[in-house]
Chain A
Amino acid sequence: MKVKYFAWVRERIGKAEETIEPPASVRTVDELMAWLSGRGEAYAYAFEKPKVIRAAIDHAHVKADAAISGAREIAFFPPMTGG
């Protein structure tokens, strides 16, 4: 699946997007954040406060307990500040 990062999540990780293949045991958005955190210091820093991070699956907002199976694109970003 493709993962995209925005704003300071993108800056902390150091890339805007990547393709990942998490193991089948990673089933939900918060499990994916925990798995990504284990990929290195930059990821651990980006996801140090997972409750703050918002997520979207295939361009729609989802909660942390949402299932990720079948997702084509998952995005992680800080609370939005548009308008």
Chain B
Amino acid sequence: MSVAATIRIQEADFDVAQEIAQLSKGRTDVGAVVSFTGICRGTEGSEPIAALRLEHYPGMAEAEIKRQAEEAMSRWPLQGLTIIHRFGRIAPGENIVLVVTASSHRQAAFQAAEFLMDYLKTNAPFWKQEESARGTSWIEAQSHDDAAAARWTKS
């Protein structure tokens, strides 16, 4: 059965419980729902931060995440998929990103969620800037994120 992914790029916060419920309510074919929520930490390295500012590339962000969602749906038997990524100013403790996967069995749901998060980190056109007492600075990409994404590459 083919499913359409729900993809939202938004400035507003989202309700994790509501998004999870949306994928399974009224259904008896979904046996597993996995959700990952990325949350803004109050420190970056050892320095306290006031907030993150997320810049994104409107148009491409949607297109790229849609491509990643389609890839996930072609690799695992998913019965539902929701991806939400926020932009703008996000304070410590606030949500940044949500991936919810629904499947008949847990393995597909876990793996698809992990695959999507690894790809969002390295391929979705978003850039984080940290805001602290010392001003603002761009957060550098991490090589361990590239390595995490690379392990999903088909040989």
Q: Which residues of A contact B (CB under 8 A)?
A: 4, 6-8, 56, 59-61, 75, 77-83
Contact = CB atoms under 8 A, between A and B. Distances in A.
Interface in B51-106: 54-57, 59-60, 63-64, 67, 85, 96-97
Nearest to A7: B127
Contacts of A60: 60, 63-64, 67
Given A75-B57, A82-B120, A56 B138 contact: no
Contacts of A6: 55, 57, 125, 127
Contacts of B139: 81
B38 interface: yes
Interface string B111-151: 00000010011111111110000000011110001000000
B140 A80 contact: no
A77 B97 CA distance: 21
Given A59-B60, A77-B127, A82-B124, 20 more contacts: A6-B57, A6-B127, A7-B129, A7-B138, A56-B60, A59-B63, A60-B64, A61-B123, A75-B57, A75-B60, A75-B125, A80-B121, A80-B127, A81-B128, A82-B97, A82-B127, A82-B128, A83-B85, A83-B97, A83-B120
